[in-house]
C-alpha cells in the first residue's frame, strides 16, 4: 500500500506543477481535468501525510517510554501513545477506503425506473408507494426530481414511472436500490383479509450525456401519436406523444407527459441514452469473472432484494440480512440506515477483493 501511496504523492506533486503551466492555464478543458484529478488525489495525500506524521509521533512516544525514568512523564507518554495508535488505525482505514477504485458514475444524476411486476393492481399501487418513498428521500436530501414518463393502472397505481433525479452524489446513494422489491400486505380489494404478495422492479440508471452515448439518427424510428391519460381520456388534442425505437437493439421508449412534441422527444432520448449505457455496462460486466465482481447479490434487477411486510411493520434487505421494524418511516423516505448499511457492506467486500488481489500479486512476485 505504501508503494502505491508514494506513487499517488508523486502524481499529486506533478499535477501541482502542471496547474502553474501557462499552456495548461490557457486550455480551460485541460485545466479543469487536471484540477479535478489534483483535488481528488489531495484527499488521499492529506491522509498519507497525516499517517506518516503519526508514525513519527508514535516513535517519539516509544522512545520516551524506553529511556525516560520519570514515572509521571512515562504515564503521559503512554496515554499519548494509545491515542496516536488509535488515530493511526482510523487513518489507515480511511486510506484503504480512499484507495478503492472509484465508480465513475457515483457523481452522476440518475433515471429512476419503477415497474409493476407480479400482483396485478396491487403491484401497481405498491409501485406508486415506492415512487413516493424515493421522492420523499430526494426531498430530504434537497435533490431535484422530474417525472419523465408515467403509465397508470386503472386504480391509481403505476404500470411504469420514470423520473430523473438530480443532485450531489445521487447515483452513489441509490445505486444499490436496483432489483425486485416485494410487498406483503392485505390489498384494499381483499374482503377476507388475506395477505397477498406482489413485486415491483426498480432500476437505477446513471444519466447518460450525449458524450457518453453516441446515437446515430439513422438508427432511430420516431413515431408521433396522440397522448392519452388514465381511462383513455385525451390529454390534449394534438399529436405530441413520441415513441422512439432504437433499431439495432429493439429498445422502445415512449413519452407523452408534455404537451410539446419536442419536449417529449428530448425526454425519450434521455431515457434511451441511459438504457443504452446501462446495457453496455452490463455487457462489459458479463465478461468479468464471477470472482472479481462477487458481491452480496449483484444488484441485478432480476434479484429479490427487499421485502416490505405490512402486517409485521418490517423491512428486510435480503442481501445483507438487515431487518428494521420501521416500515412506516422507511416509506416516508427514511432510507439512510438501509443505504448506509449497504454501502458499508459493499465497501467491505471491495476491500476484501483488493486484499485478495494484493496477495495474488505478491505471490506472483515470489
pLDDT at 69 over 90: no
Give the number of C-alpha atoms closer than 13 A to the C-alpha of residue 136, restricted to the C-beta side: 15
Residue 4 and residue 40: Cα distance in Å, rounded?
15
pLDDT at 278 over 60: yes
240-244, 310-314, 318-322: range with lowest mean pLDDT: 240-244
What CATH number should be reported for the domain whose range is 105-207+303-366?
3.30.70.1660
Task: Supply the pLDDT for residue 255.
Answer: 87
Residue with cell string 444499490: 176
The mean per-residue pLDDT over the stretch 212-229 comes to: 80
pLDDT at 114 over 90: yes
The mean per-residue pLDDT over the stretch 226-231 comes to: 59
Cell representation of residue 320: 445483507
pLDDT above 70 covers a percentage of the chain that reads 86
Residue 265 and residue 253: Cα distance in Å, rounded?
10
pLDDT at 296 over 50: no
Model confidence at 357, in pLDDT bands (50, 70, 90)? low
Residue with cell string 472479481: 292
55-64, 80-89, 285-294, 334-343: range with lowest mean pLDDT: 285-294
Question: Which of 157, 108, 159, 163 is closest to 139 using CA atoms?
Answer: 163
The mean per-residue pLDDT over the stretch 301-330 comes to: 91
Mean pLDDT, the chain, rounded, equals 84
Domain boundaries in the chain? 2-99, 105-207+303-366, 210-288
Task: Supply the pLDDT for residue 167.
Answer: 94
The mean per-residue pLDDT over the stretch 178-183 comes to: 94
Angle subtended at Cα 96 by Cα 349 and Cα 7, rounded to the nearest 5 degrees: 130
pLDDT at 234 over 70: no
Architecture of domain 210-288: 2-Layer Sandwich (3.30)
The model carries a pTM of 0.67
103-107, 135-139, 161-165: range with lowest mean pLDDT: 103-107
* Burial (CB count within 10 angstroms: exposed 0-12, middle 13-18, buried 19+), residue 242: buried
Task: Supply the pLDDT for residue 285.
Answer: 63
The pairing of beta strand 220-225 with beta strand 241-246: antiparallel
Model confidence at 212, in pLDDT bands (50, 70, 90)? low
Task: Supply the pLDDT for residue 224.
Answer: 85
The mean per-residue pLDDT over the stretch 40-68 comes to: 91
Give the model confidence (pLDDT) of 85-100 as tens digits: 999 998 988 887 777 7
The dihedral built from the CA positions of residue 320, 326, 327 and 330, taken in this order, carries a sign that is negative
Ranked by mean pLDDT, the top range of 64-73, 283-292, 326-335 is 326-335
Model confidence at 176, in pLDDT bands (50, 70, 90)? very high
What CATH number should be reported for the domain whose range is 2-99?
1.20.58
For residues 296 and 90, the model is more confident at: 90
Amino acid at each position: 500500500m505504501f508503494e502505491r501511496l508514494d506513487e499517488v504523492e508523486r502524481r499529486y506533486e506533478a499535477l501541482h506543477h502542471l496547474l502553474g503551466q501557462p499552456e495548461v492555464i490557457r486550455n480551460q478543458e485541460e485545466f479543469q481535468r487536471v484540477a479535478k484529478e489534483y483535488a481528488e488525489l489531495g484527499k488521499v495525500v492529506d491522509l498519507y501525510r497525516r499517517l506518516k506524521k503519526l508514525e513519527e509521533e508514535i516513535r517519539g512516544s516509544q522512545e520516551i517510554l524506553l529511556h525516560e525514568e520519570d514515572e509521571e512523564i512515562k504515564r503521559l507518554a503512554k496515554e499519548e501513545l494509545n491515542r496516536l495508535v488509535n488515530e493511526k488505525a482510523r487513518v489507515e482505514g480511511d486510506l484503504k477506503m480512499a484507495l478503492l477504485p472509484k465508480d465513475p458514475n457515483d457523481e452522476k444524476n440518475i433515471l429512476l425506473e419503477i415497474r409493476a411486476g407480479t400482483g396485478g393492481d396491487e403491484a401497481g399501487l405498491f409501485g406508486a408507494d415506492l415512487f413516493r418513498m424515493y421522492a420523499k428521500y430526494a426531498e430530504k436530501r434537497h435533490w431535484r426530481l422530474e417525472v419523465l414518463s408515467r403509465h397508470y393502472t386503472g386504480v391509481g397505481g403505476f404500470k411504469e414511472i420514470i423520473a430523473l433525479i438530480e443532485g450531489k452524489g445521487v447515483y452513489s446513494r441509490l445505486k444499490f436500490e436496483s432489483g425486485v422489491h416485494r410487498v406483503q400486505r392485505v390489498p384494499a380489494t381483499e374482503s377476507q383479509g388475506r395477505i397477498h404478495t406482489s413485486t415491483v422492479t426498480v432500476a437505477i440508471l446513471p444519466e447518460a450525456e450525449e458524450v457518453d452515448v453516441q446515437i446515430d439518427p439513422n438508427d432511430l424510428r420516431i413515431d408521433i401519436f396522440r397522448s392519452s391519460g388514465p381511462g383513455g381520456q385525451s390529454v390534449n388534442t394534438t399529436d405530441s406523444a413520441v415513441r422512439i425505437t432504437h433499431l439495432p437493439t429493439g429498445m422502445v421508449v415512449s413519452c407523452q407527459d408534455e404537451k410539446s412534441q419536442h419536449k417529449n422527444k428530448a425526454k425519450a432520448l434521455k431515457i434511451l441514452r441511459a438504457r443504452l449505457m446501462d446495457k453496455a455496462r452490463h455487457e462489459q460486466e458479463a465478461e468479468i469473472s464471477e470472482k472479481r465482481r462477487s458481491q452480496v447479490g449483484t444488484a441485478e434487477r432480476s434479484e429479490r432484494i427487499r421485502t416490505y411486510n405490512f402486517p409485521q411493520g418490517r423491512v428486510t434487505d435480503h442481501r445483507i440480512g438487515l431487518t428494521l421494524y420501521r416500515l412506516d418511516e422507511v416509506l416516508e423516505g427514511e432510507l439512510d440506515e438501509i443505504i448506509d448499511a449497504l454501502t458499508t457492506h459493499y465497501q467491505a467486500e471491495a476491500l476484501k477483493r483488493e486484499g485478495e488481489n494484493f496477495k495474488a500479486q505478491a505471490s506472483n512476485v515470489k
